[in-house]
Amino acid sequence: MSNVFIGLGALSAFISVAAGAFGAHALKQVLDTDMLAVYHTAVDYQFFHSIGLMVIGVLHKISPRHCHSTAAWSMLAGIILFSGSLYILSTTGIKWLGMITPIGGVSFLAAWLILALSYLAGGHTKEG
């Protein structure tokens, strides 16, 4: 699974860089200041959590733990739900998508908390 997490993280980072460039060049003239800020929030969170996903993949490669898989899938869900909903909201104005964004945020929080608690507890549960 570590290669999957690293690959998905790298792909997500690629998408976030492309989305950032698109926002800076194509959307700067189209979106108002508030929606452009929302769009850039999506890019930032996607990029940072893409790196997080790759780090989890590396940790999993070094020492496979169940917490890595759980955190990685939660982080990927956060990228899709949080950033995805903000991309669509900012470019289409569909306001109800704002209700999905917090679910993505909770997914991010869960991923980080799972890692924190597992490592702080000193658990050494390895996958088989």
Domains of the chain: total? 1
pTM: 0.90
Question: Looking at the domain assignment, is residue 125 inside a domain?
Answer: no
pLDDT computed for residue 28 by the predictor: 87
Question: Looking at the domain assignment, is residue 128 inside a domain?
Answer: no
Question: Looking at the domain assignment, is residue 111 inside a domain?
Answer: yes
pLDDT per residue, tens digit, the chain (128 aa), is: 899 999 999 999 999 999 999 999 999 889 999 999 999 999 999 999 999 999 999 999 999 999 999 999 999 999 999 999 999 999 999 989 889 999 999 999 999 999 999 999 975 555 54
* DSSP code, position 111: H
Cβ distance 75 to 108 under 8 Å?
Answer: yes
Question: Looking at the domain assignment, is residue 74 inside a domain?
Answer: yes
From CA 17, how far away is CA 70, in angstroms rounded?
Answer: 26
From CA 126, how far away is CA 128, in angstroms rounded?
Answer: 6
pLDDT computed for residue 128 by the predictor: 40
Question: Looking at the domain assignment, is residue 20 inside a domain?
Answer: yes
Question: Looking at the domain assignment, is residue 84 inside a domain?
Answer: yes
For residue 91, give its domain range.
Answer: 2-120
